[in-house]
Amino acid sequence: QVQLVESGGGLVQAGGSLRLSCAASGRTFIRFDMGWFRQAPGKEREFVAAISRSGGNTYYADSVKGRFTIAGDNAKNTVYLQMNSLNPEDTAAYYCAATVVTSPYLLLISGKYNYWGQGTQVTVSS
């Protein structure tokens, strides 16, 4: 089992920044690829970013590329999502997730993740 706990969400003005954290406990963290997803009210959960277990490969949704950065710290069993240049369309509940799959194509699919956090709310005001 893996337990994931997100933190760092909040209210920010458009153009601002937030850093989300996802702390993992339980099974060894480095055996999983990690992802961030988000879900806005009335919308489906969508892929945001993912990072390979080695940290050597990162993947981003087109909508956040160049603004968001995913990074991992295996020593702290934590993955981060640095979010810059936020806009109101980024408002959503953000979830981190862990998966045993390694294919870059599968990392974009929420159903391929084995463990999920409870989510943290990000609200961007205009």
**Pairing status of strand 120-125 against strand 115-116:** unpaired
What is the Cα–Cα distance from 54 to 60, expressed in whole angstroms? Answer: 17
Compute the average pLDDT of residues 31-57.
94
What is the mean predicted confidence (pLDDT) over 47-68? 95
* Residue 28 predicted with pLDDT over 70: no
Q: What is the mean pLDDT of residues 58-72?
A: 97
Distance CA 34, CA 96 (A): 7
Q: Is the pLDDT of residue 69 over 90?
A: yes
User: How far apart are the C-alpha atoms of 51 and 59, rounded to whole Å?
Assistant: 6
Put residue 77 in one of left, alpha, beta given phi > 0 → left and psi -120 to 50 → alpha. left
How many whole angstroms separate alpha carbon 48 and alpha carbon 79? Answer: 13
> Does pLDDT of 23 surpass 60?
yes
- Express each pLDDT in 98-108 by its tens digit: 998 888 889 99
Model confidence pLDDT, tens digit, residues 80-101: 999 999 999 999 999 999 998 8
When pLDDT is averaged across residues 32-50 and rounded to a whole number, the result is 96
16 has pLDDT over 80 = yes
